[in-house]
Structure 1
Amino acid sequence: MNVVIDCGFSGDHAYNDLDTNLTYQPDGEFIDTGSNHELGETYVTDKPTQAHNLRSFPDGVSLWKTMRIIDADQLYIAEIITLASSDYFFICLLRTGNGIPFISALELRPIDNGIYHDVNQTVSLLLWERWDMGSDQTFRYPKDKYDRKWMPDGIGRSCSANLYRCNSNSEPNPNVVATTELVRFDANDPYAVPSVVMQTAKVAPDNITLEIDFRDGNSTSPPPLFYIYLHFSELNASASASRVFLIKIPGIKSIPYTMTSEYLSERHVPISYQADPDPSTYYLTLTKMQGSMLPPLINAMEVYSKINLASIATDERDVYAMMAITKQYDNKHNWQGDPCVPANLSWSIVNCTSSSSTSFRVTSLYASQKLERIFG
């Protein structure tokens, strides 16, 4: 089931988004802290309804993404693929010292266990880029049943998975090939890229080398461990030979790849590697190998960085008990999120211990006059 929350929405009832037909819920029943704000008309033109308002946390509120808000006219997005270990989890906004944390919408999408095999209890994937190569449109739900947002590729325009819209520029574009025929994927396909995304592709502009750049200009410490998924399908019905090319990440690794001439069938190449500290090296090339009759071709590409969520959570029985206490006494203090973790943001009234590798337990409550005023 999709969970879609409009953060800061002042209405009392849910509404349907006209573009996706998804139902957005007000956030009031999910959170007790923060304050709502409506944005001025100058900043919401051409933005979806859920971007017209936000919830901010002026009093302050584990870190897996630092959002750098530079342009007030732009919509910024952070996306993570993670495995839920229980029927609840918490999203925390942490003030870094530069401005007040805020959020406009929170959207949760279920995905099948059979896709993105790299994700597990301790490894989550933070999206860097997700490109539909050769397309000039953005596709998401219902074209993609998982509501992944496929952006026009970043070659020849300024596009990013972290931005809402795409800006063209004058850089020369490589050749584009396209079809209106259905591109098929197997029932057990580990990525299930929609046909509409695979129906366009880029080929090398000089028929030799295609360079794909996913650097954002910002250094990351420590350097990311990248998970890259390249998606291929032959769109040329008359292709009688395989495309043989070298997938190369400068200074890291080279992968020879033979793309068969099987028409309209999806194929994928997963790559994982530890990136260099220098962000100028965050790109790869597809180069035609000697003897290949056809140039490199690519239909879609996803780039993620590994996020290690190894910290264990509070035992769900204790979480339910603490939530029941705060609800019973209508407590709206800074007791939000997981009671015990992260340790530096744990609830001020609890003492927690970890007796196993699976969860923390709340072992005691701090009795004080403050608590007596709240609970007494």
Structure 2
Amino acid sequence: MVLLSFLLSKESMESCCIRVLLVLIATWATIHIVHAQDQEGFISLDRGLPTYELSPYKEITNGLWFSSDEKFIQSGNTGRSREIPERYTKQYETLRYFPNGTRNCYNLSVDKGRKYLIKAKFLYGNYDGLHIEPVFDLYLGPNLWATVDLVTMVNGTREEILHVSTSSSLQICLVKTGTTTPVISTLELRPVVSGSYITESGSLKLYDRYYLNKTGSRIR
């Protein structure tokens, strides 16, 4: 009877171990699938980065993969910033500037009806050695998104907006409004859960963001 009990216990242990092993395998697979898909639908463009120059690359500060913008726009020239604030990352080393034409646009493929966080960053960085910071307009499709004033924001600035796409394509345009040349450093699109930041109509433009913690770190 004791031997029988031992054998039953052993069989139970083996069955339990198999179940645990299957759970661990499933968990491992799930973790790797999630990890592989955690940037699904992301568009992260390093403006002015040549395709031959390590594109795409992983930004070590946030783990995001950035690629060249060459496939998304047919106009503009590429340049390199000569003056970059110390805290800035690799994305600001190169930029695209638009000396020709009044309106130059990026054409991006998106999912119709999906909500996106769209982020654009700008740094003049004295790429041309002229010390002439530009002022220009930024458009989301046909609508004015923001005026980018790098005379006031000499260390660069960013613009963010939450927008629901009304078609499968999206245009983000830099529009010349004076004598200075529009520039852009990075452009990022992130799919957002449809139930967050609900509005009755229109898009939500970032006013400001505050980090209320004592650690000194920021949440991306």
| TM-score (normalizing by structure 2) | 0.62
* Structure-to-structure mapping, 1:254-333, within 5 angstroms: 254-261=144-151, 265-276=155-166, 278-280=167-169, 282-289=170-177, 292-308=178-194
Q: Which has the higher contact order (CA 8 A, sep 6+)?
A: 2
Q: 1:233 aligns to what?
A: 123
Q: 1:202 aligns to what?
A: 96
- Choose from 38, 44, 50 the match for 1:130: 44
* Structure-to-structure mapping, 1:238-249, within 5 angstroms: 238-240=130-132, 242-249=133-140
- Number of residues of Structure 1 aligned to a counterpart in Structure 2: 171
User: Structure 1 residues 214, 180: closer, same or farther in 2, change over 3 A?
Assistant: same
Distance of 2:195 and 2:119 partners within structure 1:
21
Distance of 1:267 and 1:184 partners within structure 2:
15
Gaps of 5+ in 2: 1-20, 197-220
User: Structure 1 residues 140, 172: closer, same or farther in 2, change over 3 A?
Assistant: closer
* Structure 1 residue ranges, 4+ long, deviating more than 4 angstroms after superposition: none
Deviation sequence 1:251-275 (CA, Å, 0-9, x none) = 4x31341322379723111112222
Deviation sequence 1:52-107 (CA, Å, 0-9, x none) = xxx6xxxxxxxxxxxxxxxxxxxxxxxxxxxxxxxxxx76xxxxxxxxxx95x836
Gaps of 5+ in 1: 1-27, 35-54, 56-89, 92-101, 110-124, 159-170, 186-192, 311-376
Deviation at 1:295, TM superposition (A): 1.9
Q: 1:145 aligns to what?
A: 61
Give the residue type in structure 1 aligned to 2:77: N
| TM-score (normalizing by structure 1) | 0.39
User: Structure 1 residues 308, 206: closer, same or farther in 2, change over 3 A?
Assistant: same
Distance of 1:199 and 1:264 partners within structure 2:
16
Give the residue type in structure 2 aligned to 1:279: S
Give the structure with the larger helix fraction: 2
Sequence identity, in percent? 12
Distance of 2:63 and 2:76 partners within structure 1:
28
Deviation sequence 1:154-181 (CA, Å, 0-9, x none) = x3x37xxxxxxxxxxxx85421121354
User: Structure 1 residues 183, 210: closer, same or farther in 2, change over 3 A?
Assistant: farther
Deviation at 1:288, TM superposition (A): 0.9
Distance of 1:210 and 1:302 partners within structure 2:
17
